[in-house]
Chain A
Amino acid sequence: MSVLAHLPAETPAQQTRRGHSRLLPYLLLLPGGLWLTVFFAVPAVQLAATSLYDPSGSLQEGYAMTWEFGNYADALSAYWPHFVRSLVYAGIATLLCLLLGYPLAYAIAQKATRFKNLMLVCVIAPFFTSFLVRTLAWKTILSDNGFVVGLLRDVGILGSDGRLLATSVAVVLGLTYNFLPFMVLPLYASLDRLDGRLLEAANDLYASPVRAFAKVTLPLSMPGVVAGTLLTFIPAAGDYINAELLGTPNQYMIGNVIDSAFLVRLDYPQAAALSFILMAIILAMVFVYVRRAGTDEVL
């Protein structure tokens, strides 16, 4: 039935529901949609407005809407190093996640056979201990008198007073660790769907293992790579916990700045402008990246 397969086939359930009420899908969407609208979309619009308020106001006295586009310029000129640092840290962490996550996802999907479920559980389980507890554990692992630093000093990678904690390395390592499962799970999902016989066919057609990987496995797992990099990069770019716990103010990312602008300095217009710049940068990168990667199946 090749012709019919491409037509919009409807299940009888759909037909009746349509017959009974065209309103049903809207009723189903209403509670969730309303929740997202009121508590996500409206605040986002309000945030956009806040970012254009006159910064000389305060929470107590109220703000005046003066279409202050200067807020954006001020925010950028004051904090552009933090933006750059956030994007660089998140970029490196995402790349590391991809390099670490791909072999793991591939091993689970194609090699693990009866250990598949066990290995999947092992990927997820560590993440039920709290995010903060895990990150603090890294503080122990990387501490100056810990085993890792000792080893690196002995083999001469670190100088005799070299450190890991409170450096960019520690922050990137923490980001990589904390967002690795967000990379592994989508990669696993797309590699699991990969038919092993395709690789046999590629080998049969004179492709070396490396070429078979480059020409068959990698292109077919692209939706997973795209989804995984987005799910890793987005939270990593906005994170500030790793920079706070594993770094010093010299490693602060834009998240730290926004957090303190909102909660410590109470400079709402600037905090809002910073938030919007971050969101705009991330969304722009997402769209360019999805376009370039040539897949719309992000979700």
Chain B
Amino acid sequence: MRRLPACSADDMLYSDIQVLIAGRGRREMALQPQEKVFPLLLLICALTSILVVILVGVFVFLQGYPVLAKTGFFTFLLGRSWQPGQGVYGILPMVVGTVVVTLLSLIIGVPLGIATAIFLAELAPEGAAAWTRRAIELLAGIPSVVYGLFGMVTIVPLVRYIASNWFGAWLSPEMKTGYGILAASLVLAIMILPTIVSISEDALRAVPREYKEGSFALGVPHWQTIVHVLLPAARSGIIAGVVLGMGRAIGETMAILMVAGNAPALPRSIFSPVRTMSGNIGLEMGYASGSHAQALFATGIVLFLVIMLLNGFALLFTGRRAVRTP
């Protein structure tokens, strides 16, 4: 550091002090280039997400486009026959499979999830709530292949028993294997529970206290308050949770591959084996080449578009919640 001249500040010229300050400023800049460089590095880190999303979109689209252009988007989407050997690519069975499995898993999982969320937000004593929350967090962390394995050895035999003993007379042999829509939906219902529970609970807790207190003050019992005040107020958040759970269900691959039977044909009952769009990719990408591989990429494009649409909906609802609750 430059030594101060041996005189009082009064004796110094104003320009001397200016030089002193400027010198110090320059010195610190020279000493600490990281003040300039690091924010730039951090910015690059932050921009990685954008880069990856663009790359994913571009590469999947480029690979899948040739088949879509040749077959035509709607012929591809609504074609009933998937025969890669003959170069016939129609994914209607997979689209129907995805829709049916997803809806059925929502029918099973959503009531259970919302009820658990009400339990956590309103009814549970603190200890029970903490333990239940831990349990649900664990449920979210279990690998999907473990769910698949569990489904293969417990749910599939159960469904097989029900199909052959209770409905045996009406079902064709391939519907009595246990592998199919029902087994896949049951496994998926369990897998989407954590998403629905945690987001619904947050939505219920975000309802302003005054709503509940006002309702109590009017003499409305607790349950009536939950049904007529809290649930309507938390509606948009709960819907967002359900939509996100739906996204998870549509994107899930491994667990479904293991229990759904994977036949690329239109299902005729809830016991029919079925193939989903994600399952189609996971199953055949290992050995596909040429236009077959392109058709799988095109399946990926459809999946990508569906998920983007769903996320748009979820954003719409969470956005509205932000406006609604003061």
| Mutual binders A and B | no
Binding site for A on B (CB under 8 A): none
Binding site for B on A (CB under 8 A): none
